[in-house]
Structure 1
Amino acid sequence: MNRKLKQYLQLLWQSVLFWSVVMGLFSIFRYYGIEEEEGFQVITEYSGLQGTLRALLGFTSIGTLIGFLYATIDFVFDRFASNRISLVYDLIIRTFFYFITTIAVFTVIMDLFSSIYDINLNTEAGWWRENKSFWATILYIVFVSFIFSFIKIATEKFGKGVFLKMLMGKYKQPQEEKRIFMFLDLKDSTTIAENLGHFKYSQFIQDCFYDLNEVVPKYDAEIYQYVGDEAVLSWPYKKGLANNNCVDLFFAFQQKKHKKSEYYLDKYGVIPEFKAGLHGGELMVTEVGVIKKEIAYHGDVINTSARIQAECNTYKVLLLISEKLLQDLKINTHLTSKFLGSVLLKGKQEKVNIHTINKVR
């Protein structure tokens, strides 16, 4: 519950800040200095500096309420509906709720300002239908909504903070970072694919990654890439260590699949089981591509993480972690670790000590 609340609060402050600023800017664009323009007849209440400040306060208040309500709508939809309906229906239904919300917010704020400043503003039922100023504002809201959505999508794709760094050109030249990587791979994928057939197997993988995506934000993870039935997750080193995020995510994903075991059995006849390899350290990150830009990570950390995951079959365990990373973790009482041995991973000259971690039942 705490993680869900944290997600909501983060979305809330971002939305409130964004909409408060953009609606405040709209009031300045709309009213500042308008009384000095020839040919304009300006309502007295909106003329001069006092009128501009009054409009600024009103539209900022509208932005704050819109930000709060839009964030709540997005949180509810992302949590309960985004994976159950198509993108088209999702957009249509959200837009409908946004529109109703916007009318309600404008009505409340206009009523409030009419009472406070003794302004005669029409807020009778259906007032918005013939109000050209309202529709001009709606057009502005639609435009900035695209900007907000673009920023949100770009942030989700590249990771928190990475999009801004890309805009600033930080990754034009390779940069060194310390990160944790998890290679998460479907167990017995070949057998499952043969039994299900390519179409149903694709649906199976899709469902698995839907469940993974519900877990990922709760543990501050970033999805680096999907490769077939494998997902590569990443954390900045300190975020991955905090609260054992890099380990707890794996067990949360297992628990998520366990809760949906009946669904998987009814639809596919099998419950998915994933194996994972974890390792961390210094590596290089850079921007690659021209037509399709991506952030790419290069270094031994990624190779070692992948090779550690491949050893899961050898030791018949679901989670393996390098000793180097394990030493930096603070294993809680609900987790136990066991040393399995030293292995010479393919392509490496020195052996790597590996451990498995299990959750105490």
Structure 2
Amino acid sequence: MKPFSRLLCISAALLALNASAAAETPAQQARQQWHQEILTGYEHLAEQAGAFADAAGSWCSSPSEQGRTTTEKAWREAFMAWQAVRFVNFGPIETDNRSWQFQFWPDPKNLIARKARYLLSSDEPATAGTIDDSGVAVQGFPMAEYLLFDQPFNQGERALPAGRSCDLLVLVAGHIRDTADQQLRDWQAFRAPYLANDQYHDTTIKAGMTALEVLEERRLAQPMGLRGNGKRSVYAADAWRSGTSLATLEATVRGLKQHFLPGLTLLLENGNQPELAPRIRSQFDEVLENFPDMDKPMAPLLAEDGHYSELQGLFVDVSQLTTLVNDQAAVALGVVRGFNSSDGD
């Protein structure tokens, strides 16, 4: 092919590509952005889950104080990676209660501790099949958190790195790794139906809205005693054993800002209330300005009135963010919430 003809072909292809992109609606463009952003989140989760499984295996094969520190850090980093994509409540994550496999919460009956005691007292050796058959309370981050951080457990004779406890930790970490790898593969395969189906426009927006409602009402207001029986209780928060309840909130907000907000911004900027986009972005920043000062255990903040005001300030910022997204942006985009959409996580 002559150089001039080749240039004509390249130019025609670029024009066709640009025309195709221009023909896409803002909703289609937003879904493309959401899929890619969420994919990035799942890639990070799979990477961190693999690092946690490796750290647990190395420590249990050769116990040391440094090994424990490394394993606890790896658990935290993997758990925070999960928090960043926790808002996605549709698609492959619904397979086999996969979100519950990552994080069984809430746990008002302390099922995680009961399951751990049962498995550790059994005469049968624990295997990968044991974890698969024992239910979601055994399979995810909270079970690993119990083994690593529960104070009464770690003062007893079965405290890590005791052999059977280490076996269980390694198996649980391996299950988390395998689940994260499968979720990543399934989300990659989900691209075509996600982009082709218009229903995922509202579904994705509602996922972000639900995550904010759950964060405000159940992960903050309930432990603060602002809902339910009116009593402050750290046990109503998630990840209280490791003292990372507030760190998980930060990770969720950062995840929403990174993986959800760009697509929402695109829709708002192409809608009839473009001024909402910078206001919502600014409110995300306002919430995150509470950290890293709020990256501390929740229990002392709940116990002391002088520190309780820190939680109150965070709650007000989160409430304002929820109102902006769930009321104003949702109305602007024509998204109608279902009844009691925060009833679940």
Greater fraction strand = 1
Shorter chain as denominator, the TM-score bin is: under 0.3
Please say which structure displays the higher CA radius of gyration. Answer: 1
| TM-score normalised per structure 2 | 0.27
Q: Which has the higher contact order (CA 8 A, sep 6+)?
A: 2
Structure with the higher fraction of residues in helix conformation: 2
